[in-house]
Structures are given as C-alpha cells and as structure tokens.
C-alpha cells in the first residue's frame, strides 16, 4: 500500500449514480477515488494504476461478485470492502471468509462508508509494525497458563481446560505474540483478524472483558491483561514460547 500519499480507492459498481456519488465524496475527503463498472474494468485498472483499496459491489450484472473477490484476493493483498444488499447475509459471510476486510449494506451513507474505509486502511497501515508470527510455535506459557496454538486449548495453572471462543483465542494469541508490549485496538484487530457482524474498535473491548473473566483472579483489578489508557492493551507477563 502506498503510505506516503493520498490513498487511491477504486469503486466497482455498475450503477453510475452510486459511482459518481462515492467518487465525488471520497475525493472531497482526502482520498483519491476512481471507478469501474465491471470486473473486467477493475482488473484493467490494476494493470495500469496503483490501487490501495477496492470497494466492490457483489451484485454486478452477469458477474459473480464472490468470484471477483476471490480472484482479487488471490491477485493482491489490497484491502477489500464489499457493497451488499441488506438481506444478503450469506454473501457477506462468504465474502469475509474469502478475505474481504469489511462490508457496507445498501443503502448506505457516504459518511459511514468513509469511516469504514479509513478504519480498514488504518489497520493495513499498522500491519508493518506488528511482530512477525512464527508458525513453528506450539504453545505459549505465561503466569502458569498455557495456550496451545495447535489444539487451540487454554490450560489454567491448576491444569483444567478453559474454553475459548474463536475471537478470544485469536486475541489472546495476538497478545502472547507481543508480551509486555502495548498494542492498539487497530493492531489487535489486524493481528487477530476479528470479523463479526459489525467491525468496530469496541469489538476488542468486548473480547478483552470476556478474556479477563476467564483468566484474571479479579477482573476489576486486572494484572495479566492491562489497559494502557488511551493507547491499548498489554499482556503484563513474561511469555515462554514452546516449539
């Protein structure tokens, strides 16, 4: 992604009114936007220009939007935000599973779309500052706890197994990868790849509260997952890596 200049957003939609509205609004709000009316035009743009994010309508006439999203993800690591109908939940879920970063349902306000684009771009921009993951790791140990990355099990200091949701496991794993380091909500979203019905920074706060209920002796005075006010969260423990 081009981090030194105005981000270039490509809007892919067959409706000329939507293309004009979105492009004009983004251009007026510190972004450079251009448009394509089809998947073919989208890929032609990729051949000729540097694109930082794609807004892709899943219901292009005569084209499979999910297949376009899949092909785009295979071709580039560019962020993808989907435009979907209000009743297209299955397509939204499939799109996120294929690697899309967020979605906006029609009809939408340009202001909401802009906020979501900025949030997605922000997460990609912090990606370069994140610790690189070593996939040979088997488990993490911290303060008597053991998080097994292969079985996705968390063992308490007394040896009993603590059940974690997918989101809780991903978030705890992210914290263990960067022990005693303050991680912002954007960094934690990027590292844990949390995708829920609505993706906001506050998603992290909910997962943190749930994790604390399971691992903190006293959730009201956390000693393991510590809040750094105004900055993010930190795993305040030494972490041993098991291979």
121 Cβ partners below 8 Å, 6+ apart? 1, 7, 52, 53, 79
Q: Do domains 8-129 and 139-242 have the same CATH topology?
A: no
Domain boundary assignment for the chain: 8-129, 139-242
Q: What mean pLDDT do residues 45-58 have? A: 89
Render pLDDT for 58-98 as a digit per residue (tens, 0 to 9): 989 999 889 999 888 888 778 899 998 877 778 888 888 77
pLDDT above 90 coverage of the chain, percent: 44
Residue 124 has pLDDT above 50, yes or no: yes
Quickly state the pLDDT bin for 2 (edges 50, 70, 90).
Answer: very low
- Mean of pLDDT over the chain: 85
Residue 197: its pLDDT value, please? 36
Render pLDDT for 163-173 as a digit per residue (tens, 0 to 9): 988 778 888 99
pLDDT above 70 coverage of the chain, percent: 88
CA-CA distance, 50 to 119, in Å (whole number)? 20
ω into residue 170 within 30 of 0, thus cis? no
Classify domain 8-129 by CATH architecture: 3-Layer(aba) Sandwich (3.40)
- CA 35, 38, 44, 46 dihedral sign is positive
Quickly state the pLDDT bin for 4 (edges 50, 70, 90).
Answer: very low
pTM, rounded to two decimals: 0.55
CA-CA distance, 16 to 31, in Å (whole number)? 19
Residue 135 has pLDDT above 50, yes or no: yes
Residue 187: its pLDDT value, please? 78
Residue 52 has pLDDT above 80, yes or no: yes
Classify domain 139-242 by CATH architecture: Orthogonal Bundle (1.10)
> Where are the strands (E) in 179-228, listed by range?
225-228
Secondary structure element (H or E) that encloses residue 232, with its range: strand 232-235
Residue 114 has pLDDT above 50, yes or no: yes
Residues 38/63, Cβ–Cβ less than 8 Å: yes
Which of 2-6, 22-26, 110-114, 126-130 has the lowest average pLDDT? 126-130
Strands, sheet with 80-85, edge to edge from the N-terminal-most edge strand? 32-36, 8-12, 53-57, 80-85, 102-106
């Amino acid at each position: 992604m081009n981090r030194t200049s105005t981000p270039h957003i490509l809007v892919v939609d067959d409706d000329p009114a939507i293309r004009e509205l979105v492009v004009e609004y983004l251009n007026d709000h510190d972004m450079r936007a251009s448009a394509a009316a089809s998947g073919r035009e989208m890929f032609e743009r990729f051949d000729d220009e540097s694109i930082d994010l794609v807004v892709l309508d899943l219901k292009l006439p005569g084209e499979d939007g999910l297949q376009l999203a899949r092909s785009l993800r295979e071709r580039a690591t560019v962020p993808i935000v989907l435009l979907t109908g209000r009743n297209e939940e299955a397509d939204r879920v499939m799109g996120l599973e294929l690697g899309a970063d967020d979605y906006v349902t029609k009809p939408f306000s340009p202001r909401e779309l802009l906020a979501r684009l900025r949030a997605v771009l922000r997460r990609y921009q912090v990606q370069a500052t994140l610790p690189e993951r070593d996939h040979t790791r088997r488990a993490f140990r911290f303060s008597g706890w053991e998080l097994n990355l292969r079985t996705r099990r968390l063992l308490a200091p007394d040896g009993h197994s603590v059940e974690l949701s997918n989101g809780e496991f991903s978030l705890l794993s992210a914290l263990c990868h960067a022990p005693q380091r303050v991680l912002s909500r954007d960094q934690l979203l990027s590292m844990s790849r949390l995708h829920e019905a609505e993706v906001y920074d506050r998603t992290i706060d909910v997962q943190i509260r749930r994790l604390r209920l399971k691992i903190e002796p006293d959730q009201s005075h956390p000693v393991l997952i510590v809040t750094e006010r105004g900055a993010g969260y930190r795993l305040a423990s030494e972490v041993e890596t098991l291979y």
